[in-house]
Amino acid sequence: MLRVGVTGGIGSGKSTVSRRLGELGAHVVDADAVAREVVEQGEPTLQRIRERFGDGVIRADGSLDRAALAAIVFPDRGALDALDAITGPAIAARVAEQRSAGPRDGVSVYDMPLLVERGLWVHEHLALVVEADAETRVRRLVEQRGLPEEDARHRIAAQATDAERRAVADVVLDNSGTPEDLVRAVDALWSQRLQPYAANLVSGTRSGRPELAADCVVEPRPDWESRAERVVARLAAALAPAGVVTEVSHVGSTSVPGLLAKDVLDVQVGVHHLDDVDRDDVRAAFAGAGYVFSHGIHSDTPHPHGADPTAWLKQFLGGCDPDNHVHVHVREHGSAGWRFALLFRDWLRHEPVERDAYAAEKRRLLALHSTTSDYVVAKEPWFEGAWQRANAWAERTGWRPR
């Protein structure tokens, strides 16, 4: 099941997006609706709210006075945090129950205003942020919901900023235009990314890169680091319960600012023992995060020539997202292959001359080889010399893997 978290500031239009995704076939769970359910009369959460905030937030009929509670918590961060601590566990349990009821081969949408604030985005395959500028949102809240302007501004200020949401967003939908514009954007996202992504998860198919080298290798892109940070965070969260991971790092050419590269993010997962990757819970964690094992790749090319090949063993996985190609290299912590991945990255980051020399070699090979596969193989001789120069740099500077 493809998990999509939908969020946005109050008044941004995220509910409109979730509703349209539901019309297209997604199984939608609305956090606001769940939040209302867990504070209904007879629910233990309501009693805890009463104990914390007093009888003034309870109506004469015993139901929650939402306006009175909002007047207390939205201007006061401490009070809002206290409310979240009461309602959060109950909401999480019910959300999990409702999401598990969705079809295993479909798209599960979690409409959650606090997806960013609570760090829940790391458990979603994609985070979708709906945006509209603050003044537009204030106007909508006043005109469409009847909120006093001061109340509307308090609610907006209590949530994450636009910059904080964009930092974790895989998709940003601009809702500053017409409702029809927003629907068209959602429909395009559904057909071009969400449906193919969900199909890849079901079939266990990793997304493919272009085979023509000229189409695959591109100039540096400003979003590589932010995309990689999200991949790293999600993998770390998914694998943490297994207790086998030592670190998750962005490596490879896309981790070096200013270096042209294949538009494929390389991520290294360091593990205590490579055999741990064959455990059922570890394999299930990778699959749940959206990564598929490749059974034909089990090692890197040893360096220097003649080195022990067992020190370069690894497990290799590819991501299922058709719009974000990711290669995951699982290596044993402390192995030669693990060390070189980190050294190569740091060496090129700190030595612009070497970075530029590598870029020149890439351009030379692109002119000679038309396919990505041939291009990758042709780079290996250059790596032998790079391994020697990188290690000399490490000795000279005292570099150690972090």
Domain that holds residue 19: 2-203
Query: Nearest to residue 402, comparing CAs of 337, 329, 314, 342?
Result: 342
Residue that the structure tokens 């349990």 belong to: 93
- Give domain status of residue 260, yes or no: yes
DSSP 322: T
Final residue in a domain of this structure, among 159, 176, 203: 203
Structure tokens at 377: 């193989």
Q: Are residues 137 and 270 in the same domain?
A: no
The Cα 248–Cα 242 span in angstroms is 14
The Cα 402–Cα 399 span in angstroms is 9
Tell me how many degrees the CA angle 70-72-77 measures, rounded to the nearest 5: 95
The Cα 115–Cα 117 span in angstroms is 6
pLDDT above 90: percentage of residues in the chain:
78
CB 115 within 8 Å of CB 7: yes
pLDDT band at 288 (very low <50, low <70, confident <90, very high): very high
Q: Look at residue 247 and give its three-state secondary structure.
A: strand
Per-residue pLDDT tens over the stretch 173-197:
999 888 899 999 999 999 999 999 9
Q: Are residues 326 and 390 in the same domain?
A: yes
Query: Nearest to residue 20, comparing CAs of 212, 189, 177?
Result: 189
DSSP 323-386: TS-EEEEEEETTSHHHHHHHHHHHHHHH-HHHHHHHHHHHHHHHHH--BHHHHHHHTHHHHHHH
Distances (CA, A) of 189 to 2, 89, 115, 240, 333: 14, 31, 20, 31, 39
Instruction: Report the domain count for the chain.
Output: 2
Q: Are residues 197 and 229 in the same domain?
A: no
For the chain, give the mean pLDDT.
Answer: 93
Final residue in a domain of this structure, among 203, 235, 255: 203
CB 156 within 8 Å of CB 36: no
Q: Are residues 37 and 185 in the same domain?
A: yes
Residue that the structure tokens 């912590």 belong to: 333
Q: Are residues 345 and 220 in the same domain?
A: yes
Between 371 and 275, name the one with better pLDDT: 275
> Has residue 213 got a pLDDT over 80?
no
The Cα 59–Cα 44 span in angstroms is 16
The Cα 356–Cα 360 span in angstroms is 6
Residues contributing to the annotated binding site? 11-16
- Give domain status of residue 208, yes or no: no
Q: Are residues 75 and 173 in the same domain?
A: yes
CB 200 within 8 Å of CB 322: yes
> Has residue 9 got a pLDDT over 80?
yes
- Give domain status of residue 209, yes or no: no
- Give domain status of residue 293, yes or no: yes
- Give domain status of residue 21, yes or no: yes
Per-residue pLDDT tens over the stretch 20-60:
999 999 999 999 999 999 999 999 999 999 999 999 999 99
In terms of DSSP bridges, do strands 261-262 and 326-332 run parallel, antiparallel, or are they unpaired?
unpaired
Residue 127, domain CATH: 3.40.50.300
- Give domain status of residue 279, yes or no: yes
> Has residue 266 got a pLDDT over 90?
yes
- pLDDT of amino acid 214: 65
DSSP 162-231: HHHHHHH-SEEEE-SS-HHHHHHHHHHHIIIIIHHHHHHHHHT------SBHHHHEES--TTHHHHHHHH
Residue 134 CB neighbours (<10 A):
16
CB 315 within 8 Å of CB 298: yes
Per-residue pLDDT tens over the stretch 135-180:
888 888 888 888 888 888 888 887 888 899 999 999 999 998 888 9
Q: Give the 3-state secondary structure of 376-389.
A: HHHCHHHHHHHHHH
Q: Are residues 146 and 230 in the same domain?
A: no
- Give domain status of residue 243, yes or no: yes
Structure tokens at 156: 């907006």
Final residue in a domain of this structure, among 151, 177, 203: 203
Structure tokens at 147: 């909120």
Q: Using only C-alpha atoms, what is the Rg of the chain?
A: 25
Residue 366, domain CATH: 3.30.460.10
Q: Are residues 196 and 258 in the same domain?
A: no
Residue 305 CB neighbours (<10 A):
8
The Cα 148–Cα 132 span in angstroms is 19
Residues contributing to the annotated binding site for ATP? 11-16
